Structures are given as structure tokens and as C-alpha cells.
Chain A
Amino acid sequence: MPELEAVIGLEIHVQLATRTKMFCGCALSFGDEPNVHTCPICLAHPGVLPVPNEEAVRFALKIGMALGCEIAPRSIFHRKNYFYPDNPKAYQISQYDIPICGAGKLGEIRITRAHLEEDAAKTIHVGESGRIHGSAASLVDFNRGGTPLVEIVTEPDLRGAAEAAEWARLLRETVRQLGVSDVNMEEGSLRVDANVSVRPAGTEELGTKTELKNMNSFRFLQRGIEAELERQREIVGAGGTVEQETLHFDPASGDLTSLRSKEEAHDYRYFPEPDLVAIAPTEAMLAAARESLPELPAERQARYETELRLDPEQAKRFAGDPALSEYFEATFAATRADSETEDDSQSDTAAIEPRVVANWVSGDLIATLRAADKTDEDFRDPTVPPAALAALAAQVATKAISHGSGRKVLTILVEEGGDPKAIVEREGLAQMGGDDGELAAIVAAAIEGDPAAAEQIRSGNGKAIGAIVGAVMRETKGRADGGEVNRLIRQQLGL
């Protein structure tokens, strides 16, 4: 039996963060009293006419552009007919054969389409033994009914549960940075369903897929797919066949249960919505969407890796956190501004490597903030201004102070603020150079104080140097540059 390869495609529903619903002016809300945001249109009273929200159209265009989709020159709405209490019209207005956004790509994963539609109302099913006396019933709250949605569908290009969750995170971050949705999985403004199948590795034909629903976090998405892949591999491995069905993930137990097929009459009898005319994006509409596109995570990561030569993990971290990323860029820009204003006599203030600035931001600064219980979640109003961190980084880069002293200054900056140079002077942290002989004298004393270590170093045991370096650092309270200390020790030992 050859290995069974996972074949996964995702369907993602994104609730758009417009002010009003897709086809009427009722305000969007979350957590309000039931049925306080309704009108004759979203309650489907007879004779009403829907009118699309232009902001929702713009948001859909932005999503399409960010995913590299072909934008349809002309797209239309369809009625998707189904009978269920969550939709009073007995059809959902959606798009069918001509979606607003066609084929695209995000990362390595191909996008099939992205289309506009309206969300259903929220229903709570109440059993006979429940709060209502008598027969089982559904309680319906139409506040959510009619919320604009963009449904994004991928090709079955994902090959594993972890990869699927990772890609979904990239998609969420991309949509979040577009500013078109809250993309909160727990509140349902981002909903990810997975189409899962297996096939013998190396073959092209798709196996029978199942659809997984209700995974309201990336962890559950991954766990749900893992559980389903395991189930399908067992079935196929035992010579059985997978049945096409919709499975509901239970986050509490991690179980997948089959939704009853009777509820899933996939016979939607789509037909063009006669109450709506086509959307044919004009140059002005396309320009408005294009101009409001920010630099997106995938582009930003690539720029950091190629132009600034950050390592991929760090580039990804910044790309996924716009506030931190902007803080990094402001700090980096400040280091450049500093070195340009220095006069020629101080040209040894060589431009600091971007990687070094990145380490100060994502390493030292965040660690110091955490240690001080100032997590600084958004760096929009930072505890340490970028210019101050840049000045500190420059002090260390030019060996005016040691890295250890730099951390001390940073702790003071986080606690009290101030000017790094002034703090260095006040605290007497200026690095001891080799020029005035003071450091050389301390090194000589340290060697004299530990003749055993000195002998070991002389006989080729390089590790023994640590003992003497440590002694020097204690004596200088960390103000000495480690590299310089090493050099002096070797020099004085005649190595």
C-alpha cells in the first residue's frame, strides 16, 4: 500500500467590517439584544428591493487584489435557494458562475475564487425538554442576517493539517491588514471550512472529500484536519471507501460527527437574482480599491528577507505584526539618520546592520518590556521611542558601551525614559577601551590572579579563557568589550 497523501482545500468566510448590511442600511453589530437591527429588507417582507453596499464591493475588490485574483469586468448575483429558518427569503443572495474575483494566488496556494454574499441569521435550536414548553423549535435573531461576506475558495493545494493552518494564518493576517474585517474566529467574523481527502502519493486523481465545519480556531482547524486524515487513512488502508459528507468538529471532545444528510440537500437551484443589476467595476472603483492596499505580509516578509537580509523567522514575525514592524522600520530609519548627521571625524559610526536593529527590537526590547511587565502590545505609542532605541543601538555598535551595558540602559529607558547618552554618562557605563591602558591593567591583574587558568590557555585549552574574561567583567562591572578583553588576554599571554 503506497503512502496516502493529504489533499486539502479551504473555504473561508470573511465577515466584512462595513457599517451596514450587504443589501440594506441596518447597522452591523455583535452581541446586541436580538432583532434590534432589522428592517423589511433583511426580514424579507414582500415587495422590498435589495441595494448592494458600495463599501462591501470595495472591500471585496481589495481582497481580490490582495490575493492576486482576476477581477471580473462584470459579475452578477444569484439566488441560492434553500429552506431553513436562518434565511427568511428562503434563498441567500450569493454569486455563482461569475464571481467578482476569479483565480488568484496567496503564497504557493492557488485561489479558485472570492465572491460576495450575505450572512444568514443566527439560530438557536431548543429541544422539547428545553426552555420552551412544547415541541422543539428554532429561535431566530436576524441581527446578523444580511451581514456582507466574502467567501474565498482555494484549490486543493494544501498537503497537510499544519500547512493548512499555517496558510490560513497568513490569509487571516493578510485580510486583517487590509482593514476589511475583524477576522475573529471565535466571534465568527472569520470561518474556515476544510475539504479533506486522501490519495496514493504520486497520483493525480482526487479522492472523495469530506467537508469539515465549525473549527473556530487555527488549533482546532489543524486538529480537525488531523483527525479526519487519520480516519480516512484508516478507511482507505483497510480497503474501504470514504463517504462524501459534512462533518462537524466538536472542540470539547475533538470528535467529528456527521451532520445528518437530510439537512444537506445540495440542490440550490441557482438562478440570476432579478432584483439586482451587474457589478462592473469602473476604473475609479478599481483605483479606489488599489490605492487603499497596504503592503501585505507576504510582500513585507520578502522585502525584509531580500533587501534587509533579516532571517526568515524574524522577517515573518515583523510581517505578521504591523505595529511592531512599523516600530522596527522607524528605529532602523533613525539609525540611518543618526549616522548621516555624524561628521566625518566620527565615520567609525558605521551604519548598523538591519539585522542588528531587528534583534534590538524583537529580542532585547521585548524581553526588557516583558521583564518590566510593560508588554507594550501595540507599538503605536511606544514606551521607548524609536529614536532612543536607535541611539542606544548606535552606542553599542560603535563600542561606546558594551552590549551588556546597553541592556542596562534599555532597562532604565523602559522604566524611566530619557536620553541613552545621558544615562550612559550618569551610570558610568562608558566602555573601557584599550587606549588608556586601564583595561590592560585590569586584564593583567586578572591573569595574575588565576595562574592555573592562564597556564591552561597557554597549553591550548581555549575554553579556560572564560574564567579570566569573567574576572575582568566582574571588575569592570560589564563595561568592557568582550572582544577587546579576549584580544588583550591573548596578547598578554603571548598567543
Chain B
Amino acid sequence: MIDREQVLHVAKLARLRLDEAEVEAMAGELSGILGHVDRIADLDLEGVEPTSHVVHLENVLRADQPWTSMPPEVALASAPEPFEGAFRAPSPQADAD
């Protein structure tokens, strides 16, 4: 079960602000998802290799060839408050306070 404290902790790490109703809802939904995944534990998986991926591919790599990057004005087009060619983000210091 995911309790209220765990929801608030994860929300804080993700910088999400949840109101009381959302915290309640999230606790229920996350518990449901984990409970569902937990059913795998009921299976007999003796001798089954753990997997980290659903597709059986290895070494999907690309050659070290440069491509044309986006023009900076395009890169910054979705930035709300660019400043002197840079993205501007809220200060993490202010955020932590």
C-alpha cells in the first residue's frame, strides 16, 4: 500500500504540488497499480531470467556522425522567458526554500 507520506515524498521529488483530494486519489491509484504488478509474485518464476526490456535486441548503436542541430531560435521557441540565448528556469535555490 502506498500511504499519504509516500505520495507526498514522491510528489516533492517530482516538484508536484498536490491538493488534499489529489493526495488521496494518488494513494489509491498507485496502490492499485502496485497491487496489480504484485500479482506477478504469485507466479512460479523459478529459472526465468530477469529481464530489463520487452524486446530482444542488443547493441542498437549509431555512428558518431554529427547532424545539423536546431537553430537556437527554434530551440528557444518553446521557452517562455529566454534570456541572452539561454533558457531561463526558476532558481533551484529559490525552489528549495
Contacts and interface: CB of A to CB of B under 8 A. Distances in A.
B57 A38 contact: no
A132 to B, nearest CB: 6
Interface string B39-78: 0000000000000110101111111111101101001100
B66 A27 contact: yes
Given A51-B60, A83-B15, A85-B89, A26 B66 contact: yes
Given A35-B87, A39-B69, A74 B58 contact: yes
B34 to A, nearest CB: 14
B75 A139 contact: no
Interface string A80-106: 011111000010000000000000000
A1 interface: no
Contacts of B92: 84-85, 125, 138, 263
A38 B69 contact: yes
A52 B61 contact: yes
Contacts, number: 144
Interface stretch (A54-62, A369-377, A465-473): A54-62
Interface stretch (A151-159, A265-273, A433-441): A265-273
Contacts of B9: 267
B65 A20 contact: yes
Contacts of B64: 18-20, 53-56
Contact of B96 (A24, A260, A272): A260
Contacts of B84: 34, 139
Interface stretch (A277-285, A389-397, A477-485): A277-285
Interface in A130-151: 132, 135-142
A26 to B, nearest CB: 5
* Chief secondary structure at chain B's binding surface: loop
A16 to B, nearest CB: 10
A135 B64 CA distance: 41
B89 A137 contact: yes
A36 interface: yes
A274 B62 contact: no
* Chief secondary structure at chain A's binding surface: loop
A26 B69 contact: yes
B58 A38 contact: no
A272 B91 contact: no
Contacts of B4: none
A19 B63 CA distance: 10
B53 A277 contact: yes
A109 interface: no
A280 B86 contact: no
Contact of B13 (A20, A27, A267): A267
Contact of B75 (A38, A125, A260): A38
Residue of B14, B90, B91 contacting most chain A CB atoms (<10 Å):
B91
Contact of A282 (B59, B65, B89): B59
A81 B65 contact: no
Given A19-B66, A85-B89, A262-B96, A132 B83 contact: yes
B13 A35 contact: no
B64 to A, nearest CB: 4
Contacts of A85: 87, 89-90, 92
Interface of B: 9, 13-15, 52-53, 55, 57-67, 69-70, 72, 75-76, 83-94, 96
Interface of A: 18-20, 24-27, 33-40, 43, 51-57, 74, 76, 81-85, 90, 123-126, 132, 135-142, 260, 262-263, 265, 267, 269, 272, 274, 276-282, 285
23 contacts: A20-B66, A24-B67, A25-B66, A27-B69, A35-B75, A36-B69, A38-B70, A38-B75, A40-B70, A56-B64, A83-B13, A85-B89, A90-B14, A125-B91, A132-B88, A135-B94, A138-B92, A139-B87, A139-B89, A263-B93, A277-B57, A278-B53, A282-B59
| Nearest 10 CB-CB pairings of A with B | A25-B67, A55-B64, A85-B89, A54-B61, A139-B86, A136-B91, A272-B52, A27-B66, A140-B87, A262-B96
